[in-house]
Chain A
Amino acid sequence: DGGITQSPKYLFRKEGQNVTLSCEQNLNHDAMYWYRQDPGQGLRLIYYSQIVNDFQKGDIAEGYSVSREKKESFPLTVTSAQKNPTAFYLCASSIRRGTDTQYFGPGTRLTVL
């Protein structure tokens, strides 16, 4: 059963803590993405990766870090430098970057206490 999984579904973080959000796909897609969604602001691109061991900053990368050590996995770390991390985080993948359709995981809702 192919798809994209994200964990955890809900995550609570204390201020000053780093947290890592998991994203795994078994679609054999080359490209993976992280978005952040806030009410009234739409989807904003945090980071993307076109191939293993390569990733690029998106529009709002400050306070976030990623890695792409395996094709299937693209974890996102929300660091303490991210001043307003409470949001809905969405991971997506596509066969290739660019014109290809993006498919989304179920999302992780992060709340800073």
Chain B
Amino acid sequence: QKEVEQNSGPLSVPEGAIASLNCTYSDRGSQSFFWYRQYSGKSPELIMSIYSNGDKEDGRFTAQLNKASQYVSLLIRDSQPSDSATYLCAVERAGNNRKLIWGLGTSLAVNP
């Protein structure tokens, strides 16, 4: 089992729809979770961080964290073609050797 798993996609949604991206992780001690967006050929840029169970909203983006079920998700409301990118989930590995563990990313295509 990979430490951080994401569905590689591609996930295709029509413009204006809600895109739902999911990420599961294996380390029950993880406390910090991040979503990054990466356009083709560019570097990752932070969308949102989340540390507590529940929802965290920022504009059209909502991150959802469920530590008991070990998943974190990202919802994108009113999806736009400019949201077409790869979305990376990163989870902090707890313990003495703290570092971020990265998922392989989910490719999202928003169709006009």
- B interface, CB within 8 angstroms of A: 31-32, 34, 42-46, 49, 51, 88, 90, 92, 98-100, 102-105
Q: A42-B105, A90-B43 are contacts. A99–B99 as well, Cβ < 8 Å? A: no
Contacts of A106 in B (CB 8 A): 42-43
Contacts of A58 in B (CB 8 A): 99
Contact of B98 (CB < 8 Å), options: A42, A43, A99, A102:
A99
| A41:B104 contact, CB within 8 angstroms | yes
| A103:B102 contact, CB within 8 angstroms | no
User: CA A45 – CA B99 in complex, angstroms?
Assistant: 9
User: CA A43 – CA B99 in complex, angstroms?
Assistant: 12
Write the nearest CB–CB distance from B75 to chain A, whole angstroms: 20
User: CA A97 – CA B43 in complex, angstroms?
Assistant: 20
Interface residues on A, range: 10 to 19
Q: What 4 A-B pairs come out closest when comparing CB atoms?
A: A104-B43, A98-B98, A43-B102, A99-B32
User: CA A104 – CA B39 in complex, angstroms?
Assistant: 13
What is the predominant secondary structure among interface residues of chain A facing chain B? loop
| A104:B45 contact, CB within 8 angstroms | yes
Most buried by A among B90, B100, B105: B100
Contacts of A99 in B (CB 8 A): 31-32, 51, 92, 98
Whether A75 is near chain B, meaning CB under 8 Å from some CB there, is: no
Chain A residue nearest in CB terms to B46:
A101
A-B contact pairs, 13 of them (CB 8 A): A41-B104, A43-B44, A45-B99, A97-B98, A97-B99, A98-B92, A99-B31, A101-B46, A102-B34, A103-B46, A104-B43, A106-B42, A107-B43
Write the nearest CB–CB distance from B63 to chain A, whole angstroms: 13
